[in-house]
Amino acid sequence: MPAPITDEQNRLDREALLDTVERLFYERGIQAVGMDDVRAASGLPLKRIYRFFPAKEDLVVAMLKRRDHRWRGSLANHVEKVPDPRERVLAIFDWLAEWFAEPGFRGCAWINACGELGPSSQAVLAEVRSHKQAFHDQVAVWVHATGLPVVEPVFLLAEGAIVTAGISGDPAPAGHARAAAATLLGRP
């Protein structure tokens, strides 16, 4: 009889599974990746995967939640190193430019998920909306520190740059959006 699986092993396997599906879903698309693909890439039996996540939708939501935490944390670590409030806002676009230039960049995971599953999955749509609201709120804190009433235009510039870079495969939209944000902030 095999030894029982420890809580620590469950935690490690769950994290490794989420790493696997994040890579697969981001590279190939959620609907293009079947559960047999997940099983093969993760090395975990389907029965075990379904113990962690009873449905593929649950796996997608968990992956997006975890990615949100890391994505916004990385952005905050970059932006909050900048002491000047106006330069801090511009640092958002510098971080986006670095992200857009990463190998394998395929746009926004949440917009991609919404495009694939949003109309048919209320859980995925709710997670996408939660991420977008959290990103908006994060941008709002940095913009409010400038004392300028430009939260919505700065947020839309960031979102537009993300979508445009994802579609074009070119990191240049971050620089264009940065220049527009600089104008809004009074920094040509």
| pLDDT tops 90 at residue 75 | yes
Whether the full predicted model's pTM is greater than 0.85, yes or no, is yes
pLDDT of residue 91: 98
Average confidence (pLDDT) over 174-183? 98
| pLDDT level of residue 5 (50, 70, 90 thresholds) | confident
d(CA 52, CA 62): 10
Query: How many CB atoms are closer than 10 A to CB 109?
Result: 21
Residue type present at position 85: P
Query: In the numeric block, which tokens belong to residue 35?
Result: 């559960």
Task: Spell out the domains of the chain, with CATH numbers in brackets.
Answer: 1-54 (1.10.10), 61-184 (1.10.357.10)
Q: Is residue 7 classed exposed, middle or buried when 0-12, 13-18 and 19+ CB atoms within 10 A define those classes?
A: exposed
Q: Is residue 45 classed exposed, middle or buried when 0-12, 13-18 and 19+ CB atoms within 10 A define those classes?
A: exposed
| pLDDT tops 80 at residue 160 | yes
d(CA 54, CA 50): 5
What are 54-71's pLDDT values in tens digits? Answer: 999 999 999 999 999 999
| pLDDT level of residue 188 (50, 70, 90 thresholds) | low
Query: In the numeric block, which tokens belong to residue 158?
Result: 């960031």
d(CA 155, CA 113): 20
| pLDDT tops 70 at residue 157 | yes
pLDDT of residue 1: 61
pLDDT of residue 118: 84
What are 7-18's pLDDT values in tens digits? Answer: 888 899 999 999
Average confidence (pLDDT) over 20-40? 97
Residues 6+ apart with CB under 8 A from 33: 21, 24, 25
pLDDT of residue 20: 97
Residue type present at position 117: L
Angle between helix axes 122-144 and 151-168 (nearest 10 degrees) is 130
d(CA 70, CA 176): 25
Query: How many CB atoms are closer than 10 A to CB 126?
Result: 12
